[in-house]
Each structure stands twice: as C-alpha cells, then as structure tokens.
Structure 1
Amino acid sequence: MSDKIESKYKVVSLFSGCGGMDLGFKQAGYEIVWANDIDEDACDTYEKNIGPINRGDIAQYDIPTFEHTDVLVAGFPCQPFSNAGSRKGTSDPRGMLYEHTFKFIDKLSPKAVVFENVRGLLSTTTENGKLIDELVSRLEKDYGYHVSYRLLNLSHFGVPQNRIRVVLIAIKNANYIDHVFPEVVDDKDLCIEATLKGINDKLPNQQELMKLNPQALHYGSMIPEGGSWKSLAYDVLPERWKKIRDNMAKYHYPNFFRRYARDEIQGTITAAFKPENAGVWHPTQDRIYSVREIARFQTFPDEFIFEGRTIKSKYQQIGNAVPPLIAQKIGMQLKSYFKNTAVTELKRSKIESTLLNVNQPISNQKISLSLF
C-alpha cells in the first residue's frame, strides 16, 4: 500500500495558459496527464517547458477518460471579472467558460478541485446571485465536495508581489478542508532588490523589453524611485493629467507611472502591463521590467523559457499565469491530504476486515482443536 500512496498523483489542467499552475504541481511531484489552452503562444511556452498540451477551444474537445484523476485545476479566464479587464462578468462569453470545468468534474470525479481567479470573482453576479456562491453550491450539492475559498495576498506565502487572488479548493473529506491551504511564511525577503538579485543579460528573455511610445518613456524617466506621477511638478504634466490632478476624487485617486523602490514589494504583475496603470518601471533604470524580471516576480525559474510571436505576448502570458510557487504549496498540502486519507482508508479497511472475520458464524471459521 505504501508504494501506491507514494506514486505520482494525476492532474487534469483546464485553461492552462503558459503553465504556471501546472509547473507548481509538477514541482510538488504530480503528473500532468491532460492540459488545454486556446492561446497558441502560451501553448508554445507550455510545450517548451512542461510537455504536451491540447491546443484550441476547450468546447471542441471530448473529455478524456482516465482510470482516476486526483486533482482538476482550472484558472478560467479572469478578464471578465477583473478590475483591469472588462468587468462584464458572465455577460462576457469568456465569463461562462467555467461551465466546462463542471463537465470535466462530472465525468472525471477528481478527488480535489482547485480554482484560481481575481478578487472580482467574489462580486460577480449571475441570474442566480453571486457566482462564487453558485460555484460552491454546485460543487457541494451536485458532486459531494466540501469547499473552502479564500482571498489571499500571495506575498504572504512567499510570492514577491502583492498579488491578491481568490483560491477555491474542494475535497471529499470534511475533516481536512481547513488544512488544504498553505501556511503563511514571514521569513523570506520579498523586496524588489532581493527578487532581482543575480539578473544578467545572459539569462533567457532578459533582453526582451516591450517598446513604449516616446511620451511614456519621457514621463517615466522623470519618476523618482519610490514615486509616481504625483511626484512630478504640475506644470510638466500633459493636459489630460492636469485635469485628473485637479479633481482626484472624481477619478478615484489614480496612481499612474508607479515606480516601486528597491526595498518595497512589487505590485501585481498584470497581463495588460500598461506603464501608466501598473507599477512596471525598474526602480533605478529608465525602462520597464524585462520579460525575465517579471517572470521572477511570478516565481518562474530562470530556466523556464517564454516563447511567443511578440514580446507583448510573453508579458501577457506571465501576467495571466498562476505563480508556480503558490501552486506548488497548494499541491504539497493536497499531497498530505491524499496520503493521510489513504492511510486512514487502509486502517479502516483492515478494521472492517477483522470485524467481518470475527462476526462470521463458527461453522464458517477454521478452528483447530488439540486433543489430549
């Protein structure tokens, strides 16, 4: 039985992107048996670093058949729920892609389900109410899972950026549901300087920078370390920014052109990666971060190479990804759950077998009598 417990657990991955979630589970010792994504560039990256992936619209694929599936992971598209996206929710066709996860769950009956998404998921509504409540209800009532979801700042778990995401985990055993999330860590230096230590031009993707327009470069170069557009004198601002500065409350106090200081934790790496709306400026150099540098913030190892037809695509792949480190930590927690459950089931089986033998009629039991 111990060999069975130690064997690799099987993962089915939906909306896999370039493979952040899958890489984390692989690092935790899992085997990815099926993956899918529609983005060709992301699929190129996935195959370069992780393995085969089924390309194209998930709706066009027959659900695979496996002897068993341990974990189904799904990071269904977040743009419909994101503040940085359209916020159209389920009225956006992409906002209904989560329905495919239930088709897979229905057929594969995984032992555990892991969803990851932006915090906007919690406020997204459908005709039945909040989407998050619908997801939980269906997992519990239709499939018998016990479900827990949390809004996590991933920096609390060792990811070097203030990235806030919803993580939902569903398992079959209620006794373990409070123990499947990773523990908070507080002994790791997550500042930008520490995160980018050792970066050099020989690393893959390090010399790839997204091109900016001259105006963006002009204003970005004037922002001091630790500052933003608010650090600039009023008279150097373009007219559009002056109007915003004159009525900050109306525009919800935007913080354009944020340049984090070396001793700060990086803000959220987004797929949009717009220099105005995201803190993507290098602390000390007059440029934005390279592809390799933002991969560091997302905890991709330096040997993980990003493919794609454009540099912009590589930024998008990384911004859309689940940081492998948080996926690895979740994978390790689930691994402990699987092992403990297997041991418990083995003990229960032995006890039931013993009780069955004890309760058999005497005529069916083998009894040896010694005659003297």
Structure 2
Amino acid sequence: MADYISAKELSSIWGITPTRITVMCSNGQLDGATKIKGRWMIPTNIVRPDDKRKRNIEEDSNANFRFIDLFAGIGGFHQAMRFLGGECVMAAEINQACVDTYNLNFKTLEGGVRGDVKKIDPTTISRFDVLCAGFPCQPFSKAGLQQGFNDKTRGNLFYSIMNILDAHPECKFVVLENVRNLADKSENWEIIRTELLKRDFVITQKPLILSPSDFGIPQIRERVYILGIKKDGCSAEIQDKGYIEPADLNIDKYRKKCKIGDALTLLEENVSEDYRISDEQNLMIQAWDEFRLGTGIKIIGFPIWINCFGVGIQNTDNLKSSLGYDDMPDWKKRFVDKNREFYLKHKNFIDPWIERYDMFNRIKLYQKFEWNCGEDVQNMHDGIIQIRQSGIRVKRTTYFPSLVAIVNTPIIWDNQMNAYRYITPREAANLQKFDQRYKFSGTDKQIYRQLGNSVNVRILKILCKGLFELRLKNDVRIENTEIDD
C-alpha cells in the first residue's frame, strides 16, 4: 500500500494552499487521493497535474504587475490599477450594461469580459499579482436584507474569490471593497479575516472605512476597504504584528477637508436642457422655498411632515389617534409632536400655503421637507437638492450625498440655464474621479446606476499605492507615484 501525505504537507511541497489541494482531491484531479478518517490523504508518489493556468502575458511584458478585476462593474478598479502601471489579465462582470461600458474603455485578455464568477474555472485564469474585487454589496447593504454570508447566493460569492486565490498562490495582493454595513457585524469581518489569513495574507487590522470626502472629494460615500499582502513579501515589522495599520499605507498625507462650495467645482458648463427637472418638481421646490421663507426656517432639527400638522383637527389627541401615535417609536413621536407644535405656531401662513399649492393632492414625497443647511445657505438656489422618498431635502454645497445604485440624482441650480437641473452623468463620474476620457454606454438612468455601484478611483489609487509599496521583494513595481487631486 502506497504511503500517504496530508493536503497540508503536499501544499508546502507544491507551493499552493491546502484548500486548493482539497478542492483538487474532491474534483478527482489527484489520482489515488482518498479520505481517511475524514481527511484527504494523497499518495506520496503523486505526480503533479499540468498547470493549466493560462499565461497570456509574456515574461517580457512591460506591465509592472498583473491584476484581475472581479465583479468589475464599469472599471473603477481597472482605472486605478492601470494608473499604477498594472495590466489586466481577466475581468468578470455579470451585468451586460456594465460589460458594454467596460468594453468601450478597456481591452481585456482572454476573450473579453467574462460573466458569472461562480462559473469561472480558476485554472483558466492567467497568473496574476493583484486580485481586485468589489464583491456584491446587497447581502450587507441597508437596502437589502443584510443577510451577509448567510445569503446563499450573493454572500457566497466571497468564497468564489477564495477559490480563485487557492488556485493562484502567486497572487501577492488582495484589494476588496464593499458597503459600510459590512463592518457593522463582527461575524462578517471575522469570516473575511479568517479566510484570508488561511491563505497567508496579512490584512488590515480592521476594515478601513473611508469616504471620498476624507480626501477633499466633495461626496459623502463611506465604503469598506480590505487590503492584504502575502506574508512572505512584507517587512518583518508587519509580519510580527500580524496586520496592516492605516499609518503603514501612508494615506494621511492625502487627507483634506471639504468646505462649502467645493461640490460646485465639479460641475460642467453649457449643460444640455435635457437635464432640467420637470415643471412639477420645479413648482414643488418653489413651494417649499416659499414655505421656508414664510415660516422663517433657519435652523430646524426635524423633518417637516404635512400629514402630522393636523390641518383642520382641533384636538391634538385626535390627531395622534389618527396617526397611530401610541405604536410609534419614540423618535417618530418626537417628530410628530414637533410638527404639530410648528404648525400651530405658523398656522396663519401654512393653511393658505397648502391650499395655494394643492399640497394634499400631491404625492407623499412632495409633502415632506428637510432643511439641512442651518444658516449657511440663504437661498434654495445655493443648496444641493434631492427629491427622495423621505421628501425634498436641501443640503449645503460642501459635498454631494452618496451616489447610489437606485436613481436618486442630486439637483442643483444652473446659473447659465437659469433653472434647476440634475447633475449630469459626467458630473457624477467626476465625483467618482473617473478619467475625463472615460466613455459611457446606455441610457442616463443606466449610467447613474453604474456610477452609483462603482468604486472611487482616487481612493483606490491612494490605498493601492500605499499597499504595493509595502512589498519588499522587487517583483511588483508601480508608476505615477504622485497622485493628483
């Protein structure tokens, strides 16, 4: 009977992870492998199968490093990696509209952008140095069910990334991005941390939570970044402490605060009239501007909800009963109380205002208003407006609210047009720091959605420059060490 060795022992001989050895056993790729007491054991005389991983980039390629772009979207990672001197050997994205945009801007190897990551055989991917993945955020997002890794579809896509790493022990860096909520549950972070440590990556001490506004880019958009470097390629200091700190990445020198007016610096001139808001939207903004001036709103710590005014109801207890007040959470009760008090104080202005603009026959989102500018903004023209399910919201021009995948496009006053308009796709791309030469495919609605799902290119440039410079071995070089604003 042949002698056997464990998957762990064989992995050290072949230089690949034990997990990859186990997968090869399960797939029948290792002749004679058998389970003994629940563990895979492999004959000591096993012959290593041919390495089928393609190598489409020649050894004399001018690329400083090679990367793969998983859940690629429209290429935010790709732009950052290319800026630093990288060459893409494989991209994967399942959304066809995103693929069309990606193909407009990048030429990828291996027959173009691939589809479902779960269906990609890791051994058909070229060797690479960096794995980039903005893996699906829905399992962790507030907009979804927040099932995390319990999500049997999207949540498990994280393990597809791990399968690829198992087949590619040559990978030196991982760069992952996800929504802010991923960091809210310690079990999510623990799974990610444990799986990457198993594969000999030293990673960030905790998820890095960063927003473009941290770096002078006028957009509030917190995202989680998880960075890793192969243990054998980093300094003894980092190996000893076992994690990467923000200071190791040298990102503080890029930090910059935003100030009022910065958001307007990214706007374009001579914008098409197509981006004007509708007549009804314009009328409702006008109505609430009149309301703000007529009631003297300057600083107010609650949203205005017309349905909580109690117009025509004399008894406040009757109003509360009609609203189901007793079953409301405390925060909502406070808002109801404040709206009723506000209405009774300004009733002589509000009643004719409601009739003049026929507010009770408007859709509910037009019946709500939030003024988040304090005394810093004197005129609605000088704020940033969003029409949301929570109502018409006005914010300072310090930064734009987060671009999101659902279409919720910010509105600004255009002095040239002398009208309110939506920000354009190009302006949304400016917020994500996409190259000015970047081309888009599809309708505006699709483009806004694509940009809302994308990563911020400048943040990735900053983070990856710091990460790559941690590698001591001279086998990954970077270009463009100066990152412009």
Q: Indicate yes or no: 2:284 matched with 1:219.
A: yes
Q: Secondary structure at the match of 1:31?
A: strand
The answer to whether the Cα contact below 8 Å between 2:215 and 2:257 also exists between their aligned partners in 1 is no
Question: In the alignment, which residue of structure 2 is the partner of 1:14?
Answer: 70
Q: Indicate yes or no: 2:401 matched with 1:256.
A: no
Question: In the alignment, which residue of structure 1 is the partner of 2:412?
Answer: 282
Distance 1:239 1:295, change over 3 A: closer
Q: Deviations over 1:61-107 (max 9, x none)?
A: 22255674221011011122112344343336222211111011111
Q: How many residues align?
A: 316
Q: Secondary structure at the match of 2:139?
A: helix
Question: In the alignment, which residue of structure 2 is the partner of 1:97?
Answer: 157
The answer to whether the Cα contact below 8 Å between 2:118 and 2:160 also exists between their aligned partners in 1 is yes
Question: In the alignment, which residue of structure 1 is the partner of 2:192?
Answer: 135
Q: Deviations over 1:117-148 (max 9, x none)?
A: 11111235xxxx711111101111x2111111
Q: Secondary structure at the match of 1:166?
A: strand
Distance 1:88 1:311, change over 3 A: farther
Question: In the alignment, which residue of structure 2 is the partner of 1:55?
Answer: 114
Instruction: Give the alignment partner of residue 312 of structure 1, picking from 441, 445, 458.
Output: 445
Alignment of 1:203-214 (within 5 A): 207=272
Distance 1:295 1:243, change over 3 A: closer
Q: Secondary structure at the match of 1:42?
A: helix
Q: Distance in 2 between matches of 1:81 and 1:208?
A: 38
**5+ residue gaps in structure 1?**
246-253, 344-372
Instruction: Give the alignment partner of residue 425 of structure 2, picking from 262, 268, 291.
Output: 291
Instruction: Give the alignment partner of residue 28 of structure 1, picking from 60, 76, 84.
Output: 84
Q: Secondary structure at the match of 2:411?
A: coil
Report the CA distance between 1:114 and its aligned residue.
0.9
Q: Deviations over 1:311-360 (max 9, x none)?
A: 2111111010001111111221133223x3339xxxxxxxxxxxxxxxxx
Q: Look up the equivalent residue of 1:83 and give its one-letter code.
A: K
Report the CA distance between 1:45 and its aligned residue.
1.0
Distance 1:61 1:220, change over 3 A: farther
Question: In the alignment, which residue of structure 2 is the partner of 1:347?
Answer: none
Q: Distance in 1 between matches of 2:401 and 2:433?
A: 14
Q: Secondary structure at the match of 1:295?
A: helix
Distance 1:242 1:323, change over 3 A: closer
Report the CA distance between 1:51 and its aligned residue.
2.0
The answer to whether the Cα contact below 8 Å between 1:261 and 1:283 also exists between their aligned partners in 2 is no
The answer to whether the Cα contact below 8 Å between 1:259 and 1:282 also exists between their aligned partners in 2 is no
Q: Distance in 1 between matches of 2:95 and 2:87?
A: 22
Q: Secondary structure at the match of 1:104?
A: helix
Q: Deviations over 1:240-280 (max 9, x none)?
A: 459878xxxxxxxx853334444x111211111225xxxx1
Instruction: Give the alignment partner of residue 209 of structure 2, picking from 129, 145, 151.
Output: 151
Distance 1:186 1:143, change over 3 A: closer
Q: Distance in 1 between matches of 2:225 and 2:273?
A: 31
Higher relative contact order (CA 8 A, sep 6+): 1
- Aligned-residue Cα RMSD (Å) equals 3.6
**5+ residue gaps in structure 2?**
1-58, 239-243, 293-297, 307-349, 370-388, 476-485
Q: Deviations over 1:280-313 (max 9, x none)?
A: 11244422211111111111122111112x3211
Q: Secondary structure at the match of 1:169?
A: strand
Question: In the alignment, which residue of structure 2 is the partner of 1:120?
Answer: 181
Report the CA distance between 1:16 and its aligned residue.
0.5
Question: In the alignment, which residue of structure 2 is the partner of 1:269?
Answer: 403
Q: Secondary structure at the match of 1:257?
A: strand
Q: Look up the equivalent residue of 2:284 and give its one-letter code.
A: Y
Instruction: Give the alignment partner of residue 106 of structure 1, picking from 154, 158, 166.
Output: 166
Greater alpha carbon shift after TM alignment, 227-236 vs 320-329: 227-236
Greater alpha carbon shift after TM alignment, 85-94 vs 328-337: 85-94
Q: Distance in 1 between matches of 2:253 and 2:152?
A: 35
Distance 1:257 1:86, change over 3 A: farther
Q: Distance in 2 between matches of 1:64 and 1:314?
A: 33
Question: In the alignment, which residue of structure 2 is the partner of 1:71?
Answer: 130
Q: Indicate yes or no: 2:269 matched with 1:200.
A: yes
Instruction: Give the alignment partner of residue 81 of structure 1, picking from 140, 144, 163.
Output: 140
Q: Distance in 1 between matches of 2:123 and 2:275?
A: 39
Report the CA distance between 1:13 and its aligned residue.
1.3
Q: Distance in 2 between matches of 1:122 and 1:188?
A: 24
TM-score (norm 2): 0.57
Q: Secondary structure at the match of 1:55?
A: coil
Q: Deviations over 1:179-237 (max 9, x none)?
A: 236335345767112222xx135xxxx65968977755543455659999749968355
Structure 1 runs of 4+ aligned residues shifted over 4 Å read 64-68, 186-190, 206-218, 220-234, 236-239, 241-245
Question: In the alignment, which residue of structure 1 is the partner of 2:325?
Answer: none
Q: Secondary structure at the match of 1:163?
A: coil
Percent identity, aligned pairs only?
Answer: 26
Greater alpha carbon shift after TM alignment, 60-69 vs 102-111: 60-69
Q: Secondary structure at the match of 2:224?
A: strand
Q: Distance in 1 between matches of 2:286 and 2:228?
A: 47
